[in-house]
Amino acid sequence: MPNKKKTKKSSHYAGVDLGGTSLLAVVTDQRGEVLGVEEERTLVEKGNPEPIIRQVASVVRRVCKKAKLKVADLEAVGIGAAGAVDPKTGIVHLAPNLGWTDVPLGHELEKALKVDVFIDNDVTVAMVGEHEQGAAKRAQSAIAIWVGTGIGGGLVLKGKLHRGGRGCAGEIGHTVMVFDGPLCGCGRRGCVEALASRTAMERDVRAAIEAGQQSVVTEIMEETGKTRMTSSVIEKALAANDAVVVEVLNKAQRILGSLVANLVNTLDPEVVVIGGGLAERLEDRFVGPIRETAYQEFIQKNACEKVRIVASKLGDRAGAVGAAFVAMSRS
């Protein structure tokens, strides 16, 4: 890591949230105020990271232009990438959504952009974003749970990001909650990711349809040209009061509520931030039932409401804004 530079009166940072579906970039000033935003679909080409690396560099250039800056004006760039990343080396070790193994993303982007680049996990940077500017602002202890294709987590403890002894903290999605339950991508059984991620919900909805239950999901996916049961498909199915989706969502919410209770019983944080596509679209329709279950299952009931359980405040910008803050703190 380079030595800490003298912060100029007005410093600028770019932050990028690099997901398997979309790529969102911001430019901020030294207070984290957003001066420009760019978003586009990620150009995933399995096994070949080059198109995405070029795309990230290009989106950083464009977002700078939008903010009337040059890339050379930036102090640093922060990237949040889904998967197992090493913040020290900037290598993305495993990103199933991007089809990547051991991609030296930080190094490649530094070559392309000629500016310092810092890589981190996507939910880690989202936690930083929510802690700096969002639902966890000023919290001494906070937990982020991002529910999407998988389930990721981030932690703030004693007012600071908690990375753990090996830098591996935050893998909240890999908490076993149903012993000998459904197989998870990680090889264990009954992880919360295999029970309550959007992927798990889709599996359960498909199984119900195959078992002969009526659902509008197939129709909605055909109409909207989606191949996956995205958050927008779920939202439309709920609007149509689809019994299968309602039941599958309720089950996932009950499991997520118990997960939150487990985490609160262990860590007793001030705030739990729930993020990802469903939290963004459904807001308290998604988070409300999770909160209700969690409060019922706190072991210590005194001042339950002091533990806030809320939807992400920054929404889909949490990761990119957090990545800019990570660039700020590490450069």
- Quick one: which of 52, 35, 150, 146 has its CA closest to 99? 52
Site string for its own copies, 47-76 (x = CB under 8 A): ------------------------------
How far apart (Å, rounded) are the C-alpha atoms in residues 65 and 42?
20
DSSP 306: G
* 15/83 with CB nearer its own copies: 83
Least distance in angstroms from the C-beta of 142 to its own copies:
9
Amino acid at 223: E
37 forms part of the interface with its own copies (CB under 8 A): no
DSSP 3: P
**Helix/strand/coil for 117:** strand
How far apart (Å, rounded) are the C-alpha atoms in residues 291 and 253?
9
- Quick one: which of 16, 252, 272 has its CA closest to 148? 252
* 51/164 with CB nearer its own copies: 164
Q: Which of 81, 172, 217, 287 binds its own copies (CB under 8 A)?
A: 172
Q: Which of 43, 157, 209, 282 binds its own copies (CB under 8 A)?
A: 157
Least distance in angstroms from the C-beta of 115 to its own copies:
29
Token pair of 232 as six digits: 């927008």
1 forms part of the interface with its own copies (CB under 8 A): no
* 9/158 with CB nearer its own copies: 158
Token pair of 307 as six digits: 């533990």
CB 119 within 8 A of CB 106: yes
Phi, psi of 48 (to 5 degrees): -125, 105
Site string for its own copies, 191-230 (x = CB under 8 A): ----------------------------------------
149 forms part of the interface with its own copies (CB under 8 A): no
Looking at residues 247 to 266 of the shown chain, list those that interact with its own copies (rule: CB under 8 A): 255, 258, 261-263, 265-266
CB 144 within 8 A of CB 136: yes
Find the radius of gyration of the CA atoms of the chain.
20
* 139/320 with CB nearer its own copies: 139
Task: State in Å, rounded, how far the first CA of the chain is from the last one.
Answer: 8
The stretch near its own copies (CB under 8 A) out of 104-112, 124-132, 224-232, 303-311 is 303-311
Which residues contact its own copies (rule: CB under 8 A)? 84, 140-141, 153, 155, 157-158, 160, 162-172, 174-179, 181, 186, 188, 255, 258, 261-263, 265-270, 297, 299-300, 302-303, 306-307
